[in-house]
Structure formats: structure tokens, C-alpha cells
Amino acid sequence: MNGPVSRFYFADRLRLHYAQWAREDKPTLLLVHGGRDHCRSWDWVAQELAGDFHILAPDLRGHGDSAWSLGGSYTLAEVVADLVQLLRQRAGRKVVVMGHSYGGAAALFLASLYPELVERLVVVEGTWPWQELREQKPLPERFRSWVDKVHELSARGPRKYLTLEEAVARMQAENNFLTTEQARHLTVHGLHQNEDSTYSWKFDNYIRTSHPFRISLEELKALWSAVTCPTLLINGANSWVEDPGTNGAAALFPDARTAVIPEAGHWPHHDKLTDFLAVARPFLVG
């Protein structure tokens, strides 16, 4: 199978898209992308792992070819509920899960709250809530900031690019580890063409908002401590996300190990694919 098949399912009244790789008689691997990304961001990883797994790679709500939430709400709770619906409909058994960044944080919630669904877990740069919640501002300040951001986004249209090349350049500026070929692939699958022939990103700008009602650091510690499945936490050496092996986060997990990919940033599965797979594949296949 040279590429994925495009599928859809419904959750919370939204029509959500996912890419499916390989035969269903193999163990299932769920790949969960990060914020402002899309399911085809996993293509290089999926091509390498399709021989071992039946792969489900969803476009999270508000991303890729999935529907936008009409209320503009994109909390981790809603994303996890969408993933539960996908697994209950399409998997029917425990699965292996790998999530990146925002998707990694969602995968941790999934494994904690629904242990009957997750066999083992790889989290790539997904422990950022640990450092974010350590400095969480008081609720009144969070609430006013959220309202201001929503009002700002309501008056702001999607950014338009005159050419595909202009969008590719923006993609490379976001991650300077990317080759031009990688950036073009990610851009082609991450854009749609507008009626005026310009291009815009598929993701909903409202995913940029941070909901004011959030869990506390103590609640996060309790959730992560309840992740009982074998867990691998992978980070890039040059990322803004703190290494969970040194900041204390990894110690919360009953059965976790850590790995740092040298000369990689926030997207180690893009930046150093061979090194990334050398760490992730043996753990994934058990």
C-alpha cells in the first residue's frame, strides 16, 4: 500500500476525517498529530510502520479535512472524546498510540482515562502542559484573556498566500529543520485553495484560543500518575519543550522511559526520522 485511504466518522455531531494505512488484521496504531497540523504529517512515519500495524491517523476537529467546531471550542476533553469514538467504532480492541505535541497531551489523557483502549503509548513532545500549568495565571485573568482572543479572531480572516511557494516558505520558517521536499508535502496537504485562487491553511484559527477553565497542576499529576501502560516520552534536544526526564514529569508515570533525539527540534519525527524510528519502533512493536 503506497499511501493511505481517506475515511470519515462522526463524533459530537462533527464529520471528522482520518487516514487509514495497511490491513485491518494487523495490530492498530493510532497516530495523533499536533496543533495547526494534519494527519498527513505522519506520512513518513506511517510508511515505515505500515508493515507492522494497521494505522489510523485522524485529523483532529478543526484541522485538516475534519469539520470545524461551530462554537470554536477545541479543548483536550473534546479531542479525547473524538478519539474514543474513533477507537470504539474502528478498532474494537486495545491499540498502540503515538501522539505529537497537542496530540501527545491528548494521548496522555486518553491512556489515563481509558486504559482499556491503550496497550502502550509513545508521547512526542507532549508533556508541555507540565511547564505551562506550573505558571498558570489566576482564573479572572485567564477568562478575560480568552474573551479578548475570541473577539480578536472573530474579526480576523484566514491568512492568504498568493502562491504555493509562499506557503511552503512559511512552513520552512516554522521549522527550519525541514527539507524543501518535506515542507512542500506538509504544505500541499495542509492547504486549501480559495475562490480567488489564493491559498489558506485548513485549520480553524480558533484553535489558537486557550480555554479559561483548565485542570490544575495537581490534577494533571494525578492523571499522568494513572497512566499504567508502558510509556515512552520522546523529545527533541533543541525543542522549547522541557525534557520530562530532567524536569520531574517522567517520574510521575508508573512505567515510563524517556529518549532525547539529538539535533532535533519540536518535530523530531520530521527532523531526524531515522533516529526517531530507531527509538520508537522497538518500543511500539513490543
Confidence of residue 73 (pLDDT cuts 50, 70, 90): confident
First vs last Cα of the chain: how many Å apart?
Answer: 23
DSSP letters spanning 148-214: HHHHHHHT-PPP-BSSHHHHHHHHHHH-TT--HHHHHHHHHHHEEE-TTS-EEESS-GGGG---SS-
**pLDDT above 90 as % of the chain:** 95
| Angle in degrees, CA 138, 140, 142, rounded to 5 | 70
pLDDT at 71: 87
pLDDT at 1: 43
Q: Residue 106 pLDDT > 80, yes or no? A: yes
- For residue 235, CA distances in Å to 52, 213, 256 come to 23, 28, 14
Mean pLDDT of 91-106: 96
pLDDT at 260: 98
Query: Rounded CA gap, 247 and 236, in Å?
Result: 15
The domains of the chain, with CATH numbers, are 5-137+206-285 (3.40.50.1820)
Query: Rounded CA gap, 203 and 36, in Å?
Result: 6
Please name the residues in contact with 108: beta carbons below 8 A apart, sequence gap of 6 or more. 99, 121, 123, 126, 127, 223, 224, 227
pLDDT at 92: 81
Q: How are beta strands 199-201 and 191-193 bridged, if at all?
A: antiparallel
Regarding predicted confidence, which is higher, 67 or 93? 67
Q: Residue 10 pLDDT > 70, yes or no? A: yes
- For residue 175, CA distances in Å to 57, 101, 121, 185, 205 come to 22, 14, 25, 14, 19
Tell me the HSE value of 232 on the side-chain side, using a 13 A CA sphere: 24
Mean pLDDT of the chain: 96
Q: Quick one: CA torsion of 176, 58, 12, 223, rounded to 10 degrees?
A: -70
Mean pLDDT of 105-115: 98
Kindly state the helix (H) or strand (E) to which residue 223 belongs, with its residue range: helix 217-225
Mean pLDDT of 135-153: 95
Mean pLDDT of 59-80: 95
Regarding predicted confidence, which is higher, 3 or 90? 90
Query: Rounded CA gap, 30 and 60, in Å?
Result: 12
pTM of this structure: 0.98
Nearest to 18 by CA among 86, 95, 108: 86
Q: Residue 59 pLDDT > 80, yes or no? A: yes
> Strand, coil or helix: what is 3?
coil
Q: Residue 2 pLDDT > 80, yes or no? A: no
